[in-house]
Structure 1
């Protein structure tokens, strides 16, 4: 903790004495304060034009590498630094944060609406807006961040979803007329996004279909077992067709858990079939398809877990009269443990699901506000 505090103090001291960004800031910004020092900057404008300032300006290095603490400290001590831009490429820190997918730095810049509006209007030397950089995947080196889970499994559908969310996030701060702006290659941001993400879209389609198909097969198996268990009750039936152990509380647990397992499995099956029948367009990958797939697997996981509870209830129902509670407890633990471990290992699974729930709550709030507004107008 002490070393961390010392490091923060040293960082603040270095940032306070660093004015390297001033050489590439607009003239009116530079004239608004007196420079104490100008370390590590080219003395000639020609040098800055031939050599990218990505390489020696701390503000740009921190932005490119994603060190948000340094960027935040620089903008806190030197707010004028936000106006600095790379002379060779004509890009500011907002361009770089978007290009390299640095969400933390993007949010830091976004805190000041005045700065954001000024930086968002800038078009670089290649005619690209910030929306073009959001659509471009060329500079995003860490592609595995959204495309693999904790076990290294490739998840192209969720990567595409994050790319679409990133573009939508940038689109909120850019002027509306910039959406149709063409760069020097004659390409709009939307056309660039379509070209850059074509392969990812195809991979996401294949992965989504195969995953939904695999989930539907498992859901059918679970539903079949739950359906069969309803007609082969533990303890058998009497001559009137009533279960012999129907008065036991464990029989009620068996009945309820088996019914819930059947409902969950059939619902997950319907969700997977809905995914396979959906159109695989960019718009659907933004919210609909990933959420449906996640919901289907959550329902399937719940059906498997409840089916294990059904198994445990059956075992206890058959041996509870023998008062061997230790053995009953072992059966219950063995039944539940595999799926509990599965749930603990798949943290990303829950993260995606709860993000989907937040999205649904947000939509419900919007619908509620819209309904209240309509009622008030009447």
Structure 2
């Protein structure tokens, strides 16, 4: 009985000592920090993830350190949008529940720092103002799920919740994103409308013309003619769909949350259908020469078909960057957080 009481007392004493140690580390002023901790915060600010990882491996207690503003390295990472350092939160287990609630002297919690717009240099890593706004929303959504739910509505000294601060700080970015999205959609819609007009007219002026007796196309039995008809129809439908997509972008309400998925997906589908309409229009144009010159002058449709590839290649060269950026920002960026590979602690450490 006595031994059991003694064991319980020792465990309780050890628990109190651990809590006191953690509290002391967290509340230690930056002036008393070691040289390694000052380097740690500098590395966190610049986004040097590898250096931060190596430093924490050597000095594990540094993970609890705070700077002059009472911010941890994870708050610094959120403030400067360094996802590599932020993702270390997923590797420290329940310890993150003691770090994420930390606030600075102005009562700003971690979500408030997402509410403040990132520096222009970090935003420029993402092409397109609308996609920059999308990245900011991804950060807000991620940190919102990381901090305690009660902190989502906490106000800072200015009386602003994180969401209110986010709306205030990103008002200009939303305006610029709306202008960028509308300009892009307007220019692409002009091209789509032009393609729709051309292929619609081509559907009624088929190669070889019509039989005057029954009104049936003369070359309807040829395989190349059927390819022409199908390609022309696909081009018409694709360009029409592209017009509708870009029109929906122009008439969108442009709410803040629309930049997260709705607008980028519409732009992506619009660009994809526009590309499909260009390709099929080119195919229809090239095949029409095979229908007309299938005998004797086969070199002519082959040459024209080869030259007709140029518009498709130009579109790929000029617009593929934008299309890929939209896909990367909408889908691949979701994997910025919650990495599958651990970098801070090894599952099977080697000694």
Tell me the C-alpha RMSD between the 2 structures.
2.9
Q: 1:157 to 1:138 in 2, by over 3 A?
A: closer
The one of 112, 115, 123 equivalent to 1:143 is 123
* Map of 1:98 onto structure 2: 78
* Map of 1:11 onto structure 2: none
- Which has the bigger relative contact order, CA under 8 A and spacing at least 6? 2
Q: Does 1:316 align with 2:290?
A: yes
Q: Does 1:69 align with 2:69?
A: no
1:305–1:339 CA contact under 8 A, matched in 2: yes
* Map of 2:184 onto structure 1: 211
Deviation at 1:323, TM superposition (A): 5.1
Q: 1:211 to 1:47 in 2, by over 3 A?
A: closer
Structural mapping, 1:184-203, within 5 Å: 184-203=157-176
Q: For residues 47 and 105 of structure 1, what CA distance do their matches in structure 2 show?
A: 20
* Map of 1:48 onto structure 2: 31
Q: Does 1:130 align with 2:110?
A: yes
Q: For residues 340 and 231 of structure 1, what CA distance do their matches in structure 2 show?
A: 28
Deviation track 1:116-152 (CA, whole Å, cap 9, x = no partner) reads: 2222111122211010111112656422112x3xxxx
Give aligned pairs, total.
Answer: 312
Deviation at 1:337, TM superposition (A): 2.9
The one of 204, 209, 227 equivalent to 1:231 is 204
Q: Does 1:171 align with 2:144?
A: yes
Q: For residues 91 and 312 of structure 2, what CA distance do their matches in structure 1 show?
A: 43
2:29–2:66 CA contact under 8 A, matched in 1: no
Q: For residues 281 and 55 of structure 1, what CA distance do their matches in structure 2 show?
A: 45
* Map of 2:94 onto structure 1: 114
TM-score with structure 1 setting the length: 0.75
Q: For residues 315 and 178 of structure 1, what CA distance do their matches in structure 2 show?
A: 68
Unmatched tracts of structure 2, length 5 or more: 1-18, 334-351
1:257–1:310 CA contact under 8 A, matched in 2: yes
Deviation track 1:32-58 (CA, whole Å, cap 9, x = no partner) reads: 9xxxxxxxxxxxx88718xx9999822
Q: Give the secondary structure class of the aligned counterpart of 2:211.
A: coil
Deviation at 1:101, TM superposition (A): 0.4
User: Which of 221-230 and 203-212 deviates more?
Assistant: 203-212
Q: 1:354 to 1:316 in 2, by over 3 A?
A: farther
* Map of 2:195 onto structure 1: 222
1:230–1:258 CA contact under 8 A, matched in 2: yes
2:134–2:329 CA contact under 8 A, matched in 1: no
Q: For residues 220 and 332 of structure 2, what CA distance do their matches in structure 1 show?
A: 42
Q: Give the secondary structure class of the aligned counterpart of 2:293.
A: helix
1:109–1:116 CA contact under 8 A, matched in 2: yes
Q: Give the secondary structure class of the aligned counterpart of 1:57.
A: helix
The one of 251, 255, 280 equivalent to 2:229 is 255
Q: 1:95 to 1:31 in 2, by over 3 A?
A: closer
Unmatched tracts of structure 1, length 5 or more: 1-25, 33-44, 149-154, 360-378
* Map of 2:264 onto structure 1: 290
Deviation at 1:210, TM superposition (A): 2.6
